[in-house]
Amino acid sequence: MSQSIRYLLLGLLSLAIVVADQVTKVSVMETMRLHESIPVITNLFSITYIRNPGAAFGFLSSSSSSFRFVFFGLTSVFAVGLLAMIMVRMPKEDWMGRLSVAGILGGAVGNLLDRLRYGEVIDFLDFYLNGYHWPAFNVADSAITVGVVFLILHFATEKEPEDHPVVSGQPPS
């Protein structure tokens, strides 16, 4: 498969995540009231419309909106640029690593669009067990999490290239 086709497929994966993320968020915003919750699986999962002005788990949510806008805007743009650079610099045969980064990139762009449009992120996936809630999240957060987990597993199980074998404990001459 040519390099340009690979980049096209990775770009399409990132774009599909952004589109799925934005479509689900718009659907929730248009059909639900803020803080409305629709149980899907009793005592386990609901669709709950929440706006998160902070980062993960509400980090910095009590800061001023102008500080959050600048801070999250700059860090998001930096993260997207860094992820794009990582993707381009990864070895072309590292398909799993590139897929993982494409997922993270799509999620980062999805949440960046929310911050630019609304000044906060729209969350709606609400998992809980009776009264114990996991913080609500969205499709972009899911893509970021899955991408990071796969990237960690990929790097943890990656084998070192055997270009420089060591014989008898002596480095090659």
Positions marked catalytic: 123, 141
Q: Which residues contact 162 (CB under 8 A, 6 or more apart)?
A: none
CA–CA distance, 76 with 54 (Å, rounded to integer) = 13
CA–CA distance, 125 with 32 (Å, rounded to integer) = 13
Determine the residue type at 15: L
Check: CB of residue 160 under 8 Å from CB of residue 106.
Answer: no
Determine the residue type at 94: D
Check: CB of residue 107 under 8 Å from CB of residue 76.
Answer: no
The CA-CA-CA angle for residues 8, 13, 19, to 5°, reads 120
* 60 DSSP assignment: T
